Structure 1
């Protein structure tokens, strides 16, 4: 079985990268797949604060600077992982430039692919004012990492993802790069006073969906809303190519 490196990457902050990484890790754990989670966000390490994910905080700071040599540890973790493992890494905004520079200078992603690892870069793009900047960031990643495939997460928190009445999948950008896009997934827009507040509370308390749904700290209807959101994520992932890869691996065993 092939191991897979899921790299959550975007230059812009505040667009749902840590939530995306958390959902990926929770989904594979829910499906009883072995997961190694790595948090590479020295300024706001959200991913590794969630006990249920057991994410390893990658220590990349030396005094006040990022030491790119510390990224070697992540690559070694991936190379040494067992077949079938899913390695999920959340790259924070403060680590974005040094990390992407490290990957390019060390030809790290082709090296991992040659060693038998599938590489999927998960990149959120946002609706509203952040649409163009996140689209530009995605385009930069696609150009920089020519051998990688991409999972695009449309984040509708600030509005529909697209412009001039066209969805992202109808855009010229999507048509240009569709051969590089492995899957298109969605963070759907929700009612912020209810569903949105519950998601924020869950993240602030460093809980997984399943832990929050069982927590007495959340009232009955908050748990019900979180149950709906989690079910929708599991359903879309079950229907995605990420799940299809799992089915193919199970059939090959």
Structure 2
């Protein structure tokens, strides 16, 4: 069945576009590189569209009043519905977060897609460090405003994802929404002098994992470390059926 994956988070700079790139690569490797459409609707930081290999289409969905341009956004949705591709990944920026959720809620976009036989998933990044509480608010807002299944990405790059002594699985927002949250993907905080630098170079160079294998920027060991990162993320994604809850039951 066709699926649409929205990347949503009201806090910027938390690794959302990185997640979009990882997800797009996973889907392309599973469905075929010509079976996944990628869209970048971030009007400020169009990071996702810099990955040439992903053939991302840049679409400015904001109108002149910081609202959603219905003609542009509706056109993108209609294009996805009519497409013969198996999946679409849409990276939305922090600047469009509030107006987009309002527009999608008012116009029942997720409900429309599901009526057309398309599965809808919302991917939300929760990050450690100073932005933790802001990203929790972003997750809560998505769960409150939108009707669809949610996959949480726990980004440990900026620090441990824990709150008031609780790990992410124990967060109240997670436990209160087990009917919507299908799982948690962990982006592990690896050694910054090795893995960290390799990932940073890959991201700054806007390279996919496949491109890293043939890039002169990376020697054998960095390639092996990045392959380890890829395998870890792909293994976690493979465990998500994208249809049902894989979280532990409430006590």
Report the TM-score, using the length of structure 1 for normalisation: 0.88
Structure 1 residue 61, shift from structure 2 partner: 5.5
- Give the equivalent residue in structure 1 for 2:249: none
- Give the equivalent residue in structure 2 for 1:148: 148
Structure 1 residue 22, shift from structure 2 partner: 0.6
Higher-helix-fraction structure: 1
- Give the equivalent residue in structure 2 for 1:139: 140
CA–CA distance in structure 2, aligned partners of residues 94 and 59 of structure 1: 11
SS of match in other structure, 1:44: coil
Structure 1 residue 128, shift from structure 2 partner: 2.1
SS of match in other structure, 1:241: coil
Report the TM-score, using the length of structure 2 for normalisation: 0.89
CA–CA distance in structure 2, aligned partners of residues 100 and 27 of structure 1: 26
Structure 1 residue 63, shift from structure 2 partner: 6.8
Q: Is there any run of 5+ residues in structure 2 with no aligned partner, and where?
A: 245-251
CA–CA distance in structure 1, aligned partners of residues 67 and 204 of structure 2: 26
Matching of residue 167 in structure 1 with residue 167 in structure 2: yes
Task: Compute the RMSD of aligned alpha carbons.
Answer: 2.0
- Give the equivalent residue in structure 2 for 1:238: 238
CA–CA distance in structure 1, aligned partners of residues 20 and 195 of structure 2: 19
- Give the equivalent residue in structure 1 for 2:30: 31
- Give the equivalent residue in structure 1 for 2:183: 183
Q: Is there any run of 5+ residues in structure 1 with no aligned partner, and where?
A: 246-253
CA–CA distance in structure 2, aligned partners of residues 101 and 164 of structure 1: 31
- Give the equivalent residue in structure 2 for 1:250: none
Structure 1's 102 and 160: CA in aligned 2 closer, same or farther, altered over 3 A? same
CA–CA distance in structure 2, aligned partners of residues 227 and 78 of structure 1: 31
- Give the equivalent residue in structure 1 for 2:18: 19
How many residues are aligned here?
Answer: 241
C-alpha contact (below 8 Å) 1:60/1:71 kept by paired residues: yes
Structure 1 residue 48, shift from structure 2 partner: 1.2
C-alpha contact (below 8 Å) 2:154/2:161 kept by paired residues: yes
CA–CA distance in structure 1, aligned partners of residues 96 and 219 of structure 2: 37
Structure 1 residue 130, shift from structure 2 partner: 1.4
C-alpha contact (below 8 Å) 2:49/2:55 kept by paired residues: yes
Question: What per-residue deviation string (whole Å, max 9, x for no partner) do you get for residues 140-181 of structure 1?
Answer: 110101x21100001111222122332111222221111110
CA–CA distance in structure 2, aligned partners of residues 29 and 141 of structure 1: 26
Structure 1 residue 118, shift from structure 2 partner: 0.9
